[in-house]
Chains A and B, each alone.
Chain A
């Protein structure tokens, strides 16, 4: 039996191998099955694998697909990748950028410099192709496996049907050697925006389609344009209503053209026509090779909820955004970050299964925030009616002359992690400043005498004492809770964690979110905040 690829492969990463499950008399049961080997599926498998669970990941291809998708990865994503053991390679390969220019027609209306803040291990963002991002995750999985993790990725294993039961889901899989069945105690569907699993379960995926087409071309050239993000509204080279030029590693440049709704896709994708546009943009004198191009339409939509019994959705299968703001993979990767520790505690019996409701609650709030932001960007880029076009153009005209109008120019608001304000799993905020590290927010990195703060957080709950001493390890609610005492307070640490307080105690979740904070250490208060965070103390069940 042959299995046709739906897309061409850039790197073969997990070639098909026959598994013993295919010869088993009865379907073999796996505690955790991840469907989809995209960035989100791989991060899910890696996180749970590092926590000691055997994980089986199924992907219908044998590696990473060619083509232009994500290129911009933000700090939070890099921090998560670091925790998972894939960050160093990403930083080494990625291109750091911070400057950009915005043009209207042929005029530069302003330039910006996203001045980096000091005292973080990771830069605010890097450009790196999704192909490499995924490759580095697979390599981190291989390293984890060499170090006792049990993560198996089965290439060319396509899920064709599932039958979800209360405790286990029966999974029908096709391979080049025919089909077989397995059972999954937990199934995590990371099978992308077209999610076959979602369809198999008859679940909806509603939202907005934007009536526009974007031509994305990756070109290889050695020309020395600056490592900046150049964005044109109504470009003088008359190639659609906006255009973007941005550098990636290996002398590849990402170019986007906003083509409009009524287009002839086949014609637009002809090499000569793509070259025509690129020539005009680059001024015609530059040598380059066309590496890849494709046309996309974008939508903003999400599932009504992400948890359906023991089938959980994460990444693009659960929510989809337009790419302005680089919120797809960057927000998607926070799904497994949020999910893995909760599922880990549930699997070990340390927390009730209902803890997973907070995955739904928190990541739905994040999805809504991302959809709101990328919808607003899209509305700015593609004005829907005459008056909104007039307002948009007025902003661009004013922005060229007056600084005040620049924050209104919206060609994408870069992804920042969601603050889960006032959701149920978070505890008291007994000190009031600083705002950025309040409960519900992710912990911010800070330089220490010997490294960086986030690197010191292990895989479990951590209590950090700034200027006050904390027991280095204790058992609370059956959990190993690490303690970290920080005596030498750097200016960044003061600004990010202490404000005007002489000392502060922070309780941090395994996904590095702040649960609660106090001026002084009190074990009883910490225990009660942990109970709340692991769903043992839910006021509203």
Chain B
């Protein structure tokens, strides 16, 4: 299986806003910590090591 790099978000603008809302009021360090936690939550959903390796590559 290969990583889906085509548009797949059902509501891109809604997700983007939810993400901003989650960061609202955090300082820089807290935001970085939040992002780190979010990465693990999303990675767990993906699960597959091959896909995760491709995701790490795509984000470089």
Interface residues of A (CB under 8 A from B): 373, 376, 379-380, 385-388, 390-391, 395, 398, 401-404, 406-408, 410, 413
The 10 sampled A-B contact pairs (Cβ below 8 Å) are A385-B24, A391-B23, A395-B16, A402-B5, A402-B58, A403-B5, A404-B6, A404-B8, A407-B9, A408-B15
Contacting residues, chain A, for B58 (C-beta < 8 A): 398, 401-402
Contacting residues, chain A, for B5 (C-beta < 8 A): 402-404
Cα distance, A358 to B6, chains bound together (Å):
41
Cα distance, A402 to B59, chains bound together (Å):
10
**Chain A's nearest CB lies how many Å from the CB of B8?**
6
Cα distance, A306 to B9, chains bound together (Å):
35
Given the known inter-chain contacts A385-B24, A386-B28, A391-B23, please indicate yes or no for A408 contacting B9, CB distance below 8 A. yes
Q: Is B26 close to A, CB under 8 A?
A: yes
Given the known inter-chain contacts A373-B13, A413-B13, please indicate yes or no for A404 contacting B20, CB distance below 8 A. no
Given the known inter-chain contacts A380-B16, A387-B28, A410-B13, please indicate yes or no for A404 contacting B4, CB distance below 8 A. yes
Interface residues of B (CB under 8 A from A): 4-9, 12-13, 15-17, 19-20, 23-24, 26, 28, 31, 58-59
| Contact with A386, one of B7, B15, B31 (Cβ below 8 angstroms) | B31
Cα distance, A202 to B19, chains bound together (Å):
38
State whether A376 touches B31 (Cβ < 8 A).
no
Contacting residues, chain B, for A380 (C-beta < 8 A): 16
Cα distance, A408 to B17, chains bound together (Å):
10
Residue of B4, B8, B13 contacting most chain A CB atoms (<10 Å): B13
State whether B7 touches A407 (Cβ < 8 A).
yes
| Contact with B12, one of A386, A390, A403, A407 (Cβ below 8 angstroms) | A407
State whether A387 touches B23 (Cβ < 8 A).
yes
State whether A404 touches B7 (Cβ < 8 A).
yes
Closest Cβ neighbor of B19 among chain A residues? A391
State whether A379 touches B17 (Cβ < 8 A).
yes
Contacting residues, chain A, for B8 (C-beta < 8 A): 404
Cα distance, A380 to B28, chains bound together (Å):
18
Cα distance, A385 to B24, chains bound together (Å):
8
Contacting residues, chain A, for B4 (C-beta < 8 A): 404
Contacting residues, chain B, for A413 (C-beta < 8 A): 13
Closest Cβ neighbor of B11 among chain A residues? A407
Contacting residues, chain B, for A387 (C-beta < 8 A): 23, 26, 28, 31
Cα distance, A104 to B59, chains bound together (Å):
18
Contacting residues, chain B, for A408 (C-beta < 8 A): 9, 12-13, 15-16
**Chain A's nearest CB lies how many Å from the CB of B34?**
8
State whether B20 touches A388 (Cβ < 8 A).
yes
Contacting residues, chain B, for A376 (C-beta < 8 A): 13, 16-17
Closest Cβ neighbor of B59 among chain A residues? A398
Contacting residues, chain A, for B7 (C-beta < 8 A): 403-404, 406-407
**Chain A's nearest CB lies how many Å from the CB of B9?**
7
**Chain B's nearest CB lies how many Å from the CB of A248?**
27
Cα distance, A441 to B9, chains bound together (Å):
24
Cα distance, A390 to B17, chains bound together (Å):
14
